[in-house]
Amino acid sequence: MLNLIFLGPPGAGKGTQAQRLARRFAIPQLSTGDILRRAVAEGSPVGKRAKALMESGKLVPDEVVNEIVDEALARPEAQRGFLLDGFPRTVAQATALDEMLARRGRKIDYVLNLDVPAEVLVDRLSGRLTCPRDASTYHVRTNPPRRPGLCDRDDTPLVQRPDDQPEAVRRRLAEYQDKTALLTGYYKPRGVVRTIAGVGTPEEVEGRIVSALRDNVTAGPANP
């Protein structure tokens, strides 16, 4: 069982790395952003509540995302472990997650904190292409699809996310600084935070994550 959280600002590569590790470890990627985007596309009540907030780059209310995660953790595929991508994002969400896990007799093994300079984030988000069907992400320059404009896995035409427009990107970075960045401090006393340099190719970043996890499996008690 491996219970992981990805922390890091918008564009840090949480989704990119979570998809890779989900395949590697055969555990599900639980991305609140992807789940909310599906809800928006379907026009469900949650989607209607979230749409304008997401497009402007603001956070969706805690109770909405807490419920999404509680449901996701109850699914059979999450019983072997999970990779949370984009949750928690506030202290209230982190305490709610603690309660959800305690209720199930589970705990967080590692918090992977992806560290990427601000100027790189803006470049990554402005060039990102997303598959609306399977939520995989590409970048026009640094991580292009094999065939221009088409998803490698299912040939779906790729789109730009509405919240990757400059104004929404600014708001998302500010929301991260105000509400999410302090979560590394929330988890630090537990000795589970691993800060990973998020620059370099996706393969290099994945290699760093895998060795951080491996070192700790073989090195015994975790370092802060």
List active site positions.
14, 89, 128, 161, 172
What gap in Å lies between CA 49 and CA 67, rounded to an integer? Answer: 14
Binding to ligand AP5, residues 38-77 (CB under 6 A): 53-54, 57-60, 65
CA distances from 134 to 67, 141, 144 (A): 22, 21, 16
Q: Considering the complex, state which of residue 163 and residue 192 has its C-beta at the smaller distance from ligand AP5.
A: 163
Taking CB atoms within 8 Å and a gap of at least 24, the contacts of 52-57 are: 54/162, 54/163, 55/162, 55/163, 55/168, 56/163, 56/167, 56/168, 56/171, 57/163, 57/167, 57/168, 57/169, 57/170, 57/171, 57/172, 57/175
Site string for Mg ion, 14-53 (x = CB under 5 A): -x--------------------------------------
Tell whether omega for the bond before 145 is within 30 degrees of 0, i.e. cis: no
Choose which of 138, 187, 192, 193 interacts with ligand AP5 (CB under 6 A).
138
One-letter amino acid of 181: A
Q: Considering the complex, state which of residue 38 and residue 58 has its C-beta at the smaller distance from ligand AP5.
A: 58
In angstroms, what is the minimal distance from the CB of 224 to ligand AP5?
23
DSSP 8-state assignment for residue 83: E
In angstroms, what is the minimal distance from the CB of 12 to ligand AP5?
4
Backbone angles phi, psi at 222, to 5 degrees: -75, 150
Choose which of 10, 83, 131, 193 interacts with ligand AP5 (CB under 6 A).
10
In angstroms, what is the minimal distance from the CB of 79 to ligand AP5?
22
Q: Which does 93 bind (CB under 5 to 8 A by kind): Mg ion, ligand AP5, none?
A: ligand AP5
In angstroms, what is the minimal distance from the CB of 78 to ligand AP5?
16
Could you give the 3-state DSSP secondary structure of residue 30?
Answer: strand
Binding site for ligand AP5 (CB under 6 A): 8, 10-16, 32-33, 36, 53-54, 57-60, 65, 86-87, 89, 93, 124-125, 127-128, 137-139, 142-143, 163, 172, 200-202, 205
Binding site for Mg ion (CB under 5 A): 15
